[in-house]
């Protein structure tokens, strides 16, 4: 089927990036959030990011204006029911996602495809709570969405071939590259990446290195663009912990046990860049390691 109109649930960092990319690629986008302020802020961020593209010669002013005109803001979740594709990009909490889909399903058109941008939660389990598990998939974008090339496509046990093929074509149209993953905890990227971050936190916890020495070691020794602790702050320590918990519970392997220090930072509300403190303190002009 052809996708023309896309609904995005959640106006946070991932949601506004997804709305940006789809609007710029010619899709009409309905962006939903329970908070009017969050939607207005998302539109401001999208506008600022597109303005930056214009200033760098990557987007014309006319194309920017056309893309922004394709985005509509909607507080009423039911309004997304007549879209061709829904992308849920709410907080990484399974009970919240189930609640959102349960509220949305009664309003859906028969042909609408449902997807979740979850970074770790079972697609099969999310799909089972809807009326269309065969038209349900994981559609996992990387952060920041306008910059990162990869999209993970995750089929649940009931996902049919037409749904998968439709989303493969959507990924091509938005100028990104699809990587197909089976529906196991954390899929591909986070199955590899987040345990690496967790191991870096253990390295800090056990006193093997400081925040600065660990990040310098991986940037210079493994040629990573960001150190693992710097990356954890960028992702959000609460998100890292949530993914580790999904891995630990879903695979029942002690190698995925979240580091107690990661748990402690999250308990303190030091979640990284978004709260101005994590493994670095971002309240001054330059980030300062907190350990």
Domain spans of the chain?
5-182, 191-289
Domains 5-182 and 191-289 share a fold: no
- Considering the domain delimited by 191-289, tell me its CATH architecture: Orthogonal Bundle (1.10)
190 is a catalytic site residue: yes
The pLDDT value given to residue 1: 79
- The domain made up of 5-182 has a fold known as Rossmann fold (3.40.50)
The pLDDT value given to residue 157: 96
249 is a catalytic site residue: no
The pLDDT value given to residue 57: 95
The pLDDT value given to residue 92: 86
Would you list which residues are annotated within the binding site for NAD(+)? 10-15, 33, 92, 97, 119, 143, 274
* Neighbour-count burial of 36, counting CB atoms closer than 10 A to its CB (0-12 exposed, 13-18 middle, 19+ buried): exposed
The pLDDT value given to residue 213: 98
The pLDDT value given to residue 41: 96
Would you list which residues are annotated within the binding site? 10-15, 33, 92, 97, 119, 143, 274
Which of 177, 185, 203 lies closest to 261, judged by CA? 203
Which of 155, 204, 206, 152 lies closest to 183, judged by CA? 155
* Residue from 88, 120, 122, 140 carrying the catalytic annotation: 140
Q: How far apart are CA 109 and CA 22, in angstroms?
A: 20
6: enclosing H helix or E strand: strand 5-9
Here the tokens at position 76 are: 């009423």
* Residue from 49, 116, 122, 190 carrying the catalytic annotation: 190
230 is a catalytic site residue: no
* Residue from 32, 88, 152, 248 carrying the catalytic annotation: 152
Here the tokens at position 207 are: 């006193």
pTM for this structure? 0.90
SS3 assignment, position 169: helix
107 is a catalytic site residue: no
Q: What residues pair up with 281 in beta bridges, in sequence order?
A: 277, 288
As averages over each run of 10 residues, the pLDDT of the chain (291 residues) reads: 95 95 98 96 97 96 97 96 96 93 96 95 96 97 94 97 97 97 95 97 98 98 97 95 94 97 98 97 96 94
């Amino acid at each position: 089927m052809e996708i023309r109109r896309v609904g995005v649930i959640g106006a946070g960092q991932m949601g506004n990036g997804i709305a940006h990319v789809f609007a710029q690629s010619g899709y009409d986008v309905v962006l939903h959030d329970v908070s009017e302020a969050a939607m207005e802020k998302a539109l401001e961020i999208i506008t600022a990011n597109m303005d930056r593209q214009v200033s760098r010669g990557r987007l014309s002013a006319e194309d920017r204006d056309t893309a922004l005109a394709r985005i509509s803001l909607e507080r009423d979740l039911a309004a997304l029911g007549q879209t061709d594709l829904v992308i849920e990009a709410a907080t990484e909490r399974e009970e919240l996602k189930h609640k959102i889909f349960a509220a949305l399903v009664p309003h859906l058109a028969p042909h609408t495809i449902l997807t979740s941008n979850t970074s770790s939660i079972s697609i099969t389990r999310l799909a089972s709570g809807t009326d269309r598990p065969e038209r349900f998939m994981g559609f996992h974008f990387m952060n920041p969405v306008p910059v990162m090339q990869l999209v993970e496509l995750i089929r649940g046990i009931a996902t049919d071939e037409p749904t998968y093929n439709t989303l493969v074509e959507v990924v091509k149209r938005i100028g990104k590259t699809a990587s197909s993953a089976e529906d196991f905890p954390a899929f591909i990227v986070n199955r590899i990446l987040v345990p690496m971050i967790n191991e870096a936190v253990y390295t800090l916890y056990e006193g093997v290195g400081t925040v600065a020495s660990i990040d310098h070691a991986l940037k210079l020794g493994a040629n990573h663009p960001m150190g693992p602790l710097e990356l954890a702050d960028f992702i959000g320590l609460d998100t890292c912990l949530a993914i580790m918990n999904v891995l630990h519970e879903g695979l029942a392997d002690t190698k995925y046990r979240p580091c107690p220090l990661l748990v402690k930072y999250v308990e303190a509300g030091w979640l990284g860049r978004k709260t101005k403190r994590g493994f670095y303190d971002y309240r001054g002009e330059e980030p300062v390691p907190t350990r």
